Amino acid sequence: MRFRVVIALLGGLLASSAFAKLPPLSDEAKAKAAEAAAKSAWTDKVGLYEMCLAMDRSAEFYRMGAKEAGQDVPPPVTLPPCAEPGPFTPTAPAAAKPLEASGAHSPPGMAVSPPSSKATSAEITGTRK
């Protein structure tokens, strides 16, 4: 009896963890997922294009072989030409520059000295400790 109660409680605890919610995706993760989906769709188009070219080559090889063997060759079926997908162009929006690259913290103008020196704070401000 106790064993059944323990098993039921453990089963309930394990089942409740299956209904837990994951945190929402960040904007960066969403952008990466969208780019991966676009890359996958482009790869599918490239595969279809290569398959179309292979089918054209095999049909031409069949026709040449049938003509050489003296067989009657039916006229080719007119199909649209194979459409080349072109190079992959990422469609992800331009990411905002981080603060370090944006220059938001940098003073205007050119630096005339290195950013760090061996001078103490007292020497720089002109006061004594």
Per DSSP, helices labelled H in 18-129 are 27-68, 99-102, 121-125
- 6 membership: H or E segment, kind and range: helix 2-17
Both tokens of 102, joined, read 């944006």
**Looking at residue 64, what is its pLDDT?**
93
pLDDT of the chain along its 129 residues, tens only?
Answer: 777 877 877 777 776 666 777 888 888 899 999 999 999 999 999 999 999 999 999 999 999 999 999 999 888 888 899 999 999 888 755 555 555 555 555 556 666 666 666 777 777 777 775
38 touches 90 (CB < 8 A): yes
Question: What CA–CA distances, in Å, run from 108 to 83, 91, 99, 111, 115?
Answer: 52, 34, 15, 9, 14
Q: What is the pLDDT of residue 123?
A: 78
User: pTM (2 decimals)?
Assistant: 0.53
